[in-house]
């Protein structure tokens, strides 16, 4: 008679392997409560993983008293936006899904068909 081992945490093992595979990549994390984060997986432990979660920071206007008289074209200048990464730790039990963050590639333009000495006639400068 053989005793079968009940593996209750097999789904957590696959999430842990997936986190190790996507380590140091920019990923989107979906938690079991429905919240989503984007960040970079930094460390994967036995039951927890740490992520550098990005947050947007806006520059306060009252700190820039010297910039009051400098005008942006056609109105006041837009507020400056910064991106800051904070380290947060999550347990594997709270992770529902993990996916790479999709980046859109710019279109590929064909090279210019003419070499540098353009085949145009030379304009005489008098």
Residue 73 is predicted with a pLDDT of: 62
Average pLDDT of the chain, as a whole number: 78
- Per residue in 22-61, pLDDT (tens digit) is 999 999 999 999 999 999 999 999 889 999 998 887 766 5
CATH node for 10-100: 2.30.30.100
**pTM, full prediction:** 0.61
Q: Indicate the domain borders of the chain.
A: 10-100
pLDDT of residue 121: 66
- Check pLDDT > 80 for residue 13: yes
E strand or H helix that includes residue 17: helix 10-21
Asked if 9 and 25 count as a contact pair (C-beta separation under 8 A), the reply is no
């Amino acid at each position: 008679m053989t005793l079968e081992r009940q593996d209750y945490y097999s789904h957590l093992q696959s999430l842990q392997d997936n986190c190790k595979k996507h380590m140091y990549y920019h990923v989107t994390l979906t938690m079991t409560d429905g919240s989503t984060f984007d960040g970079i997986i930094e460390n994967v432990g036995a039951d927890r993983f740490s992520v550098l979660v990005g947050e947007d920071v806006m520059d306060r206007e009252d700190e820039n008293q010297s910039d009051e008289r400098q005008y942006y074209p056609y109105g006041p200048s837009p507020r400056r936006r910064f991106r800051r990464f904070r380290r947060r730790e999550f347990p594997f039990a709270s992770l529902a899904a993990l996916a790479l963050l999709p980046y859109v590639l710019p279109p590929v333009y064909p090279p210019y068909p003419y070499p540098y000495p353009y085949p145009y006639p030379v304009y005489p400068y008098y």
